[in-house]
A and B are shown apart, each in its own frame.
Chain A
Amino acid sequence: MNLRTLVWRELFERKSQMVTVFVGILLGITTVVAIKTITHYSEKAVARELDTLGANVLVLPKSVSLQDYYAADMHEQYIPEEYVLRLTMSNLHGVDNLSPKLCVPVELDGRRYTLTGILPKSEFSAKAAWAGAGIFTRPIGCGAIDVGDSPEHDDKRSLVRNRVIETLERHETLIGADAAQALGLADGDSVELLGQPFSVVAVLPTTGTVDDSRIFAHLHTVQELSEHGQVVNCIEIVGCCKEISAGLVDKIDDLLPEAKVVTVAQVVATQAKINQLMERLSLIFLAIIVVVGGAGIANYMYANVSQRRREIGTLMALGAESSFILPLFLSKACLLGAFGGVAGFGIGTILAVTVGPKLAGVPVFPMPTLALWAVVLSVGIALASSYFPARSAARLDPCATFQEV
């Protein structure tokens, strides 16, 4: 027999009360952990996008409202493909690379994937040299210089890094890492898409973005198979930073007045706003947990002390000091807090990992560091709100145990 046995046995003595308080703590921690996890990965995605795509510009249909860079082409609005050549043949400085995309849904093995049509650079880059003699006076661009021998070194996997690919045959396909794993596909395999056989030329490396679950094929093949005509959902431009700051976006806007031109920075700003909102929301939830959860625990503890007056009095009559009574209640609060915190972290994490990608459009992974945070928070709230009830128990008049005093 020791303090732990007493606490543990008593905990299950009043199950319904205990469960109510436990569920209260659990729900609170679950919500905060879920929001925090999703926000963290969303912020990370934003940071990564800023880091990796700082110089990018998107050309989109006017009606598209964009909140996620990686899903910029996941809509059913279209712009003509000819915009690609308008951009290529223009005298704009700082357009380093272009990547038009058209997305159509495909079903494979009972699961839906996004088939993204992309245009290899070889099909339009030569037209950049059509810009006349003025081309010789252009400043050196920001991208890697083409010295004419790159086709030999064409690595299809560079798509994920450079956002463009040098060559791609009409019957070839590139598979995102997750999609390849789910479909059991490897380099050299063949797969049927929209009723036509394709050969897998490369499984792309993992990027941690929605690109991992995409399948890429030649834009013109995708257009034909999906009967969409000569349109695309979006044109991604890898532009030079200094040219972007020098007004490249406005110039593209002038060139393509029927399209919407946004920079990644703008997209990221939208996402950052959502993250801020989520962050504030998690703070509100935190406040609710502290106030409502804390009040709930305090109420439960006061009721517990009241119900156990005789028991406490008996323990005192038997020689229990206040240093025994106080931990008797605080340990119970600590246990409830710890279990609530751990379970809340577990459920919150599962919720974040499963629902997060749908809500925030970014892959979400468990955050072990939040476990400590969740436990400290819930134990802290439980202890703080139990302190006064526990102190009142420790100061209880032991005479309450006698019949006539």
Chain B
Amino acid sequence: MLQLENVTKSYRHRRGQVTALDGADLTIDSGEFISLVGPSGSGKSTLLVMLGGMLSPTSGHVLLDGQSIYDLGANERARLRKAKIGFVFQTFNLIPYLTAQENVQVPMCLNGVGAEEQTERAVALLERMGLGDRLDHKPTELSVGQQQRVALARTLANDPALILADEPTGNLDPETAEQIIRFFEQFHAEGRTIVMVTHDPRAAARAKRTLRLANGHIVHDESPSRVVA
């Protein structure tokens, strides 16, 4: 489903060049559940946003379903995200002035879904997340665990094939983190591809494949079938 071909990402910084990702090659098949681990600054998040079509590589190619996504324009990539990708953020990134239901409706609104369908689907997703009684609550009126569940419901709004999660349990207590991971497992079971950046070894362990990054290199690919050189 996803392919990285010799992808390098360098930033220009005051003191010189910083290489966040250095000649990465990677293939992610449909339906995989991958955790990206590694120390801070190792290039995990860079890799994640690159996979999401939001950060163009300095060199190399990123292919989604065989299409080089950075050969597309910014708006075309946005349409691609809308159709195929769901994002989960560490800080949930809910829109503070919208209710839980409205937050879930946002991706559908961007996708041009009709109002009635938006409501039906948002309610169903929130009920699935166990928030059927919190539809009209604003993010500030919800606990952090509830907020992340709203964010998960929002991720599923457009029924994405690929879910990219940036430290989804980073701000949560172990119990809530467990709850979220269980949802990820459900999403995986539904056939979605999940790429999850995490510092949490327990969360990483629940993935079916773990990629370890260090200094911009994928140094370890713990999966039954692949070993990175």
B52 neighbours in A (Cβ, 8 Å): 317
- Which of B48, B89, B90, B118 meets A314, CB within 8 Å? B89
How many residues of chain B are within 8 Å of chain A by beta carbon? 42
Q: Is A17 an interface residue (CB 8 A)?
A: no
For B129-171 the 0/1 string (1 means CB < 8 A from A) is 0000000000000000000000000100010000000110010
Our pick among B40, B74, B82, B98 for the contact of A404 (Cβ within 8 Å) is B40
Q: Using a CB-CB cutoff of 8 Å, which residues 187-202 of chain B contact chain A?
A: none
Judge whether B203 is part of the interface by a CB distance below 8 angstroms.
no
Select A311's contact among B40, B81, B95, B109, beta carbons within 8 Å. Answer: B95
A315 at the interface (CB under 8 A from B): yes
How far in angstroms is the closest Cβ of chain A from B107?
5
Give the shortest distance, in Å, between B36 (CB) and chain A (any CB). Answer: 11
Inter-chain contact B105/A402, CB cutoff 8 Å: no
Q: Which of B45, B95, B98, B111 contacts A319 (CB 8 A)?
A: B111
- Report if A404-B97 is in contact (Cβ < 8 Å); known contacts: A315-B110, A321-B78, A322-B74: no
Q: Are A404 and B44 in contact (CB under 8 A)?
A: yes
Residues in chain A near residue B83, CB distance under 8 A: 319
> Cβ of A320 < 8 Å from any Cβ of B?
yes
Residue pair B87, A317 in contact (C-beta under 8 Å): yes
Q: Is the CB of B107 within 8 A of A318?
A: yes
| Chain B CB within 8 A of A154 CB | no
Say whether A111 faces chain B, with CB atoms less than 8 Å apart.
no
Q: Which of A321, A397, A402 contacts B79 (CB 8 A)?
A: A321
Complex Cα gap A320–B108 (Å) = 11
* 0/1 interface trace, chain B 74-106, chain A, CB 8 Å (1 if under): 110011011101010111010111100010011
Q: Type the 1/0 row for A377-405, where 1 means its CB is closer than 8 Å to any CB of B.
A: 00000000000000000000111011111
Does B205 belong to the interface (CB within 8 Å)? no
CB of B72 within 8 Å of the partner chain = no
Query: Is the beta-carbon distance between A323 and B75 smaller than 8 angstroms?
Result: yes
Segment of A5-13, A27-35, A281-289, A338-346 engaged in the interface with chain B: A5-13
Set of chain A residues within 8 Å of B167, measured between Cβ atoms? 403
- Residues in A with CB closer than 8 Å to B95 are 6, 311, 314-315
Given A399-B49, A404-B41 in contact, is the A318-B90 Cβ separation under 8 Å? no
Q: Which residue of A has the minimal Cβ distance to B90?
A: A403
Q: Chain A residues in contact with chain B, CB under 8 A?
A: 1-3, 5-6, 9-10, 12-13, 310-311, 313-324, 397-399, 401-405
Residues of B at the A interface (CB closer than 8 Å) are: 40-41, 44-46, 48-49, 52, 54-55, 74-75, 78-79, 81-83, 85, 87, 89-91, 93, 95-98, 102, 105-111, 115, 118, 154, 158, 166-167, 170
Q: Which 7 A-B pairs have the closest CB atoms?
A: A319-B82, A1-B105, A314-B93, A1-B109, A13-B97, A404-B45, A319-B81
Given known contacts A12-B97, A311-B95, A319-B82, what 20 new A-B pairs fall within 8 Å (CB)?
A2-B109, A6-B98, A6-B109, A311-B93, A315-B106, A316-B78, A317-B54, A317-B93, A318-B82, A318-B87, A319-B158, A320-B78, A321-B74, A321-B78, A321-B79, A398-B54, A399-B49, A401-B93, A403-B89, A404-B41
